[in-house]
Structures are given as structure tokens and as C-alpha cells.
Amino acid sequence: MSETLGQRPWMTAPPMAAVLDALEAAGGADCVRFVGGAVRNALIGRPVDEVDLATSLTPEQVTEALQAAQLKAVPTGIEHGTVTAVAGGKPFEITTLRRDVATDGRRAVVAFTEDWAEDARRRDFTLNALYASRDGTIFDPVGHGIADARAGRIVFVGEPEQRVREDYLRILRFFRFLAWYGSGPPDAAALAACESLKGEIKSLSAERVSRELLKLLAAEDPREAVALMARAGVLGEVLPAPIDLERFNGLAAVETDQLFETDPVLRLAALLPDDQIAAVQFAERLRLSNADRDRVAAALSPTPAFKSWMSPREIRRMLYRLGPQVFRDRAKLAWARAERTATTPQWRGMIALGEGWTAPAFPLTGEDVIAAGVPKGPMVGQVLREVEEWWIDHDFIDDQLSTIEKLKSVAQGMAF
């Protein structure tokens, strides 16, 4: 008896139905199936975020079928057989069944096929080589993808070393899928292939590596997968030494135990050495966004030092100087290094205060300083900074009159 997913809402939603109707009108009911992550996740009870389709139609036939149904067709990866359909404002990737003609570890030359088993044989892991028809019937061409998905076995399709040589990014994908879906001991043959060919990671584009690394770190609890990466020497091929596994494990424990949202960028910062210059160089080498590069560098700043016993007044002062994002990042990294059981209430309270307190605006401007008798020029900024320091030291005093009096006092003491 065939396995079935049953009818899921994402299968029958009007935008999806419109796309399926268009393709079936061109190639019949058997020409299109759901593929990969949507089938895998539905099978094991995980949320389905993206739904991809595989088809025996060529990209040209897919485009014609969509246009005939008055749906938008975008040639997002036409050389690899991928057309994106847009229906109801939602995108759906449709990829023609393929077989590899040539690979060099970074890219593949493909030919199109109508053979579902041939398409399955070129995929990376057995749990990703699953297809489902419109009525929910599951197809498992490699024979054990269903069992592997349910058991949490991350197993390459076919011979592991060959799969890795076809695309060296699969080394990182192996650990990413372990972090997200793995259970029990890792597949020995898969791990051996990744360890043997780890040096080839350097041949990959920085963008592909960084995307895969951040996806791995976004798993709910990637500690075991990252530790295995380190033991296999794979992590050292990606990150600069010394890798701080202790802080990373501490941060992941904090996020898991305290039900914080997983934060792959901060987890990446936790793994890096306490060297802002090296962190910036690494971020630029991996082509991280400017925002992520700056965030990592700020999170690794050695000053000011965070302690669990800081008073609310000290916390507010740090928040004002650092801003909420940097403050939260620095606090979590400090907490990751601390004795969590004994100090959890303090760290939790610190972060809660940081999330609940809105820094007030400094009540003076340069015009106020000039009105107090300070001539235009560098002295204006100097006076403002001195009064602002007084205002901060007085815990952001909400007394305009006292602040003006302090301004007058500072202005009178300046030599112009």
C-alpha cells in the first residue's frame, strides 16, 4: 500500500491549485509532483514553509502552460530547468526533471529527463528525494527516503564521495541537515566523505558558504552538529581560529532553555575569537551583509564589560550608549560564558530591562548651548558632551530646569 500525506491545506490552496491546473492541462495528471522539503516536512510533522514542484515538462513547456493560464512565469534558473510561477502573489519554483551531465564540485551541467528515478538519483540526501502527487501519494524512488526521514538519518543518495564531489557545498549541507533533522549517530560513510573532502570547501563561493552556515546555525539546537563539524575538521575550514565552542554552546543553551528566538548571526559571533578586526575580515571574506558584519564586530567588543550583578542604573547607562541591539547581543554573549544556573535571574532581568526600557532623548541641542553664551564652533559639541555625561550620570534626570542650570554652569566655566 502506498504511503500518503493526505490532502494538506498547502496542496489545495487556490494559488497552488491554479499552478497545478495549468501544468496538468499541458502534460496530464502525472506530469507534476511536489518535491523535497515540503514532502519531507509534511511526512515528519514539521511546518511546511516553501513548496517546490518537479515536472516532466521542459522549461519552455512550463512557461507556455503558465502563460496560457494567465499566470506569471519568471525564468529564475532556466539553464538548470527552474521556472518560478507567480499565482495569487505567491511564488512557486517549478523545476524540470534532470540528470547531471558534468560537475566540478561547484556547478553542474544538466540535461532534462522524464524519468523521476533519474532525477531522484542526482539529489543530495534520501530524505530530500521524495515526491508527492496532488492527492498526497508519496513516491520514494531511492527506496528508503521515507524510512530515513522518519528515523532522522541523513544519508547521501548513492555513493557519498561521488555526491560530495558533484557539489562540495553538500559537506556543509550534511551538517545543516543533521542539525535540523538528524537523530542518533551520524551516517559513517557520509561523515567520512565530508571529512576526506573538507579542504574543497575553499573552492566554493563565499556567498554559498555563508548562506549555508547561517542556515545551519538557525536550527533550534545545532550544538551536536557543530561539535561534529569541529571534530571532523570541517568547521576549521570555514571559521578562523581559535573557534570558541564553549561560548557557542553556552549561547545555544541560553536560547534553548530561555525560549529565546534562535539567532544565527549572534551564534556565528559566539564561535569567533574575541578579535574585532579579525571578525570584520572574516565577515567581509564570507560576504556577510554590512549590517551583519557590523553587528558581529559590535557584539565582540571587549568594553564595556558586562556583569550579572549590574544595577538597573548601570544597565540603563549601557543601553543608552550601546543601543538595544548591541546591548542585547553583548548581554547574551556574557551570559553564555557565565554560570547560568546561579545567575539566570540576573541575566534574564537584565535582558528584560533592555527590551522594556526606551532611552530618553537628550533634552538639549546646539542652539541651547549657543543661547547659553557659547560661541559657534567646536566648543558647542564639547559643552553638549559634558552636560550629557552629567545627565547620564544622574540617570537621565527628567528635570529640564536642572539640565539648563547645569548647562549654564558648564558654559560659564569654559574659556572661550
Of the chain, the percentage scoring pLDDT greater than 70 comes to 98
Q: Strands, DSSP E only, in 315-404?
A: none
Please say which residue of 107, 131, 151 terminates a domain: 151
Q: Are residues 22 and 109 in the same domain?
A: yes
Q: Flag whether pLDDT at 416 surpasses 70.
A: no
pLDDT (tens digit per residue) in 198-245? 999 999 999 999 999 999 999 999 999 999 999 999 999 999 989 999
One domain for residues 172 and 77: no
Q: What is the CATH number of the domain that holds 196?
A: 1.10.3090.10
Helix, strand, coil percentages in the chain from 3-state DSSP, rounded to 5 = 55, 10, 30
Beta bridge partners of 73: 85
Q: Is the pLDDT of residue 102 over 80?
A: no
DSSP-derived secondary structure letter, 313: H
**Torsion of the alpha carbons at 249, 252, 258 and 259, rounded to the nearest 10:** -160
Alpha-carbon gap, residue 299 to 322, rounded angstroms: 10
Please determine, for residue 28, whether its predicted confidence score (pLDDT) is greater than 80: yes
d(CA 338, CA 404): 42
Average model confidence (pLDDT) across the chain: 93
Q: Which residues 6+ apart lie within 8 Å of 37 measured at CB?
A: 48, 49, 50, 52, 128
Residues 146 and 13 in one domain: yes
Contact between 52 and 36 (Cβ < 8 Å): yes
Check whether residue 57 and residue 97 sit in a common domain: yes
Gyration radius from the chain CA atoms: 28
For the chain, how many structural domains are there in total? 4
DSSP state string for 216-271:
HHTSS--HHHHHHHHHTTSHHHHSPSSP-HHHHHHHHHHHHHTTPPP-HHHHHHHH
Same domain, 119 and 263: no
Whether residues 302 and 273 share a domain: the answer is: yes
Q: Note whether 128 and 159 are same-domain residues.
A: no
Judgement on whether residues 56 and 138 belong to the same structural domain of the protein: yes
Q: Is the pLDDT of residue 341 over 70?
A: no
Structure letter (DSSP) for residue 128: G
Here the CATH number for the domain that contains residue 10 is 3.30.460.10
My answer on whether 52 and 82 are in the same domain is: yes
> For 139-194, what is each residue's pLDDT tens digit?
999 999 999 999 999 999 999 999 999 999 999 999 999 999 999 999 999 999 99
The model's pLDDT over 287-309, given as tens digits with 9 standing for 90+, comes to 999 999 999 999 999 999 999 99
Task: Select from 121, 151, 181 the last residue of a domain.
Answer: 151
Say whether pLDDT at 110 is over 90: no
Domain that holds residue 408: 366-413
pLDDT at residue 314 greater than cutoff 90: yes
> Does residue 141 sit in the same domain as residue 73?
yes
**177 and 246 share a domain?**
no
What's the one-letter identity of residue 398?
A: D
pTM: 0.90
Of 201, 217, 238, the one marking the end of a domain is 238
Asked if residues 48 and 42 have their Cβ atoms less than 8 Å apart, the reply is yes
Q: Is 82 in the same domain as 8? A: yes
| pLDDT on residue 284 | 95
